[in-house]
């Protein structure tokens, strides 16, 4: 389908983008366009004005300062996946980016765009939650940082306010990481995806964060499992017993792809696999 | 009232200037204004990959990009990949290995494969299949498509 009509302007800077965004009533930001354009083509979304931020250099690329990695909001999934800095120091986001959609989607889609869209079956949210990432947003009245735990507020809903834009994501160094995805073969989205970030000290789990995508109306964190496994060894028997009945099917999504009960079972299985693999690396 | 905007895009090595509506998709501009109908439209949901072209060397779905976003970029379509008397290695592979039946998905398959080989000249079969995840073939021709790409890789690395 053809999208509704809109005006189109390219922003040269974050400030200019915020100004243009505020200037039109139904404006939207356009970066890679891989969430926005399909939605506009289905006429689920309409915008009177698109502000193209793909040319804002400050929003692109991965940089490292000590143990913190900063990923510009307009960095494509492919560039996240291929980042040598991330691959060596904090590989989870790079590994997750490498299994998003397909190569053409990864060539255009951006991390900031995906997070802002907040599709409940997108891959990044699980990793963002597991890493305890910080999301930097800018608005006309200044900048602020939103913790991953507070970022997703509902299906396609985030804590980013009207008139604000995501400028970057920062994540800590972490090598005990893994993402397990049960992929829907047609859409490429996660039926369920579980990301784990584990630190093992003296043979036992000293820290653990687990993020889940695809299962519920929004990405979620398994805090109960995290505390249950604190101080335990990450052996198969322990993980099998801990990763059982993690989420109630009643809280999950059931649709033509998978029933809620099946998704609940996938959460158990994928959490166990993700933690085992992450612990072996961490 | 419709407002158009001026764009300048290098298409298959040639500079093309046009006034387009902002909502014009790149694929519609290529097919309808430039008559480059080798790029196909197979779905309306960014899933089938029949419309894949290269924008600044990267494979993209031209149905999921506005022509306005290509302003200042270099676009290569299937028409610009090889010539009838000098096929691109991937086109040659599809010819040699019978990599198509109806041919509808072929341009997108070839553009995706060409980008794969440009960055990974000797892919494993698993890597080829992973790279084709965004290209759908409804004649169930994947086996021969994979062989075609392997043929091209062999030729390119020989």
- The pLDDT tens digits of the residues spanning B85-115 come to 999 999 999 999 999 999 999 999 999 999 9
Q: What distance in Å separates the CA atoms of residue B72 and residue B61, rounded to the nearest whole number? A: 18
Average pLDDT value over all residues in chain B: 95
When pLDDT is cut at 50, 70 and 90, the band that residue A219 belongs to is very high
My answer on whether B94 and B77 are in the same domain is no
Residue B133's region, left for phi above 0, alpha for psi from -120 to 50, else beta, is alpha
Same domain, B74 and B12: yes
CATH number at residue A182: 3.30.390.50
Per-residue model confidence (pLDDT) at position A188:
85
Q: What share of chain A is helix, strand, coil (3-state, %, to 5)?
A: 35, 30, 35
Give me chain A's average pLDDT, please: 96
A37 and B58 in contact by Cβ < 8 A? Answer: no
A211, part of any domain? yes
- pLDDT of B157 > 70? The answer is no
Is the distance from CB of A102 to CB of A95 less than 8 angstroms? Answer: no
Say yes or no: A46 contacts chain B, CB-CB below 8 A.
no
Mean per-residue pLDDT for A238-243? 98
Q: Which residue of A has its CA nearest to B4?
A: A7
CB B41: neighbour CB atoms within 10 A?
16
Q: Exposure string (b/e) for A6-30, b if CB count within 10 Å is 16 or more?
A: bbbbbbeebeebbebbeebeebbbb
Predicted TM-score of the model (pTM): 0.96
Residue B156 pLDDT:
62
On whether both A166 and A206 belong to a single domain, the answer is no
- CA closest to B28 among chain A residues: A2
State percent of chain A over pLDDT 90.
95
Asked whether residue A2 is assigned to any structural domain, the reply reads no
B97, B74: one domain: no
Query: Looking at the structure, do residues A119 and A218 belong to the same domain, yes or no?
Result: no
Task: Please report where in the chains the tokens 């398994």 appear, as a residue.
Answer: A222
Closest CB to A38 among B22, B45, B58: B45
The pLDDT > 70 percentage for chain A reads 100
Number of cross-chain residue pairs from A and B with Cβ atoms under 8 Å apart: 76
Do B145 and B97 share a domain, yes or no? yes
Angle between helices B142-157 and B106-119 (to 10 degrees): 40
A9 touches chain B (CB under 8 A): no
**A1 in any annotated domain:** no
Q: What is the CATH number of the domain that holds A129?
A: 3.30.465.10
How many domains is chain B built from? 2
Q: Which domain holds residue A25?
A: 7-52
Tell me the pLDDT tens digit for each residue of B15-41.
Answer: 999 999 999 999 999 999 999 999 999
Within 258-277 of A, beta carbons closer than 8 Å to B belong to none
User: Average pLDDT of A277-281?
Assistant: 97
- In the Cβ-directed half-sphere of A126, how many Cα atoms lie within 13 Å? 35
Residue B17: give the domain boundaries.
5-81
Question: Which one-letter DSSP state was computed for residue A3?
Answer: P
In chain A, how many domains are there? Answer: 3
Domain boundary among A172, A198, A228: A172
Which two structure tokens, joined as six digits, stand for B122?
Answer: 């000797």
| A31 and A66 part of one domain | no
**Are A31 and A65 found together in one domain?**
no
Q: Which residue of A has its CA nearest to B58?
A: A107
């Amino acid at each position: 389908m053809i999208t509704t009509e809109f005006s189109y302007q390219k922003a040269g800077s974050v400030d200019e983008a915020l100004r243009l965004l505020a200037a039109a009533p139904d404006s939207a930001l356009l970066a890679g366009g891989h969430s926005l354009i399909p939605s506009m083509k289905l006429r689920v979304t309409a915008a009177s004005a698109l502000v193209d931020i793909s040319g804002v250099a400050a929003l692109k690329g991965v940089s490292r300062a000590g143990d913190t990695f900063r990923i510009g909001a307009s960095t494509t999934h492919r560039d996240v996946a291929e980042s040598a800095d991330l691959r060596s120091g904090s590989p989870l986001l790079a590994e997750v980016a490498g299994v998003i959609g397909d190569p053409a989607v990864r060539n255009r889609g951006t991390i900031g765009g995906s997070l802002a869209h907040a599709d409940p079956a997108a891959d990044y949210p699980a990793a963002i939650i597991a890493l305890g990432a910080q999301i930097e947003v800018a608005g006309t009245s200044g900048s602020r940082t939103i913790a991953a735990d507070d970022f997703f507020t509902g299906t396609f809903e985030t804590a980013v306010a009207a008139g604000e834009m995501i400028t970057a994501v920062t994540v800590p160094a972490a090598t005990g990481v893994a993402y397990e995805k049960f992929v829907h073969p047609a859409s490429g989205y996660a039926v369920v995806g579980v990301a784990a970030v584990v630190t093992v000290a003296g043979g036992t789990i000293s820290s653990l964060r687990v993020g889940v995508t695809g299962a519920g109306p929004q990405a979620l964190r398994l805090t109960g499992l995290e505390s249950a496994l604190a101080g335990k060894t990450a052996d198969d028997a322990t993980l099998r017993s801990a990763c059982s009945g993690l989420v109630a099917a009643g809280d999950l999504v059931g649709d033509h792809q998978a029933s809620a009960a099946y998704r609940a079972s996938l959460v158990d299985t994928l959490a166990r696999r993700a933690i085992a693999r992450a612990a072996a690396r961490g | 009232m419709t407002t158009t905007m001026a764009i300048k895009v290098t298409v298959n090595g040639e500079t093309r200037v046009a006034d387009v509506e902002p909502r014009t998709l790149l694929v519609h501009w290529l097919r309808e204004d430039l008559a480059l109908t080798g790029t196909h439209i197979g779905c309306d949901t960014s899933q089938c990959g029949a419309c894949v072209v290269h924008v600044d060397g990267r494979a993209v779905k031209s149905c999921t990009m506005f022509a306005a976003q290509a302003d200042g970029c270099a676009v290569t379509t299937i028409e610009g990949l090889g010539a009838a008397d000098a096929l691109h290695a991937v086109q040659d592979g599809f010819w040699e290995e019978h990599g198509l039946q109806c041919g509808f998905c072929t341009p997108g398959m070839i553009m995706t494969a060409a980008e794969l080989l440009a960055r990974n000249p000797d892919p494993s079969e698993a890597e080829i299949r992973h790279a084709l995840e965004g290209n759908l073939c409804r004649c169930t021709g994947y086996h021969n498509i994979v062989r075609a790409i392997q043929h091209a890789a062999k030729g390119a690395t020989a």
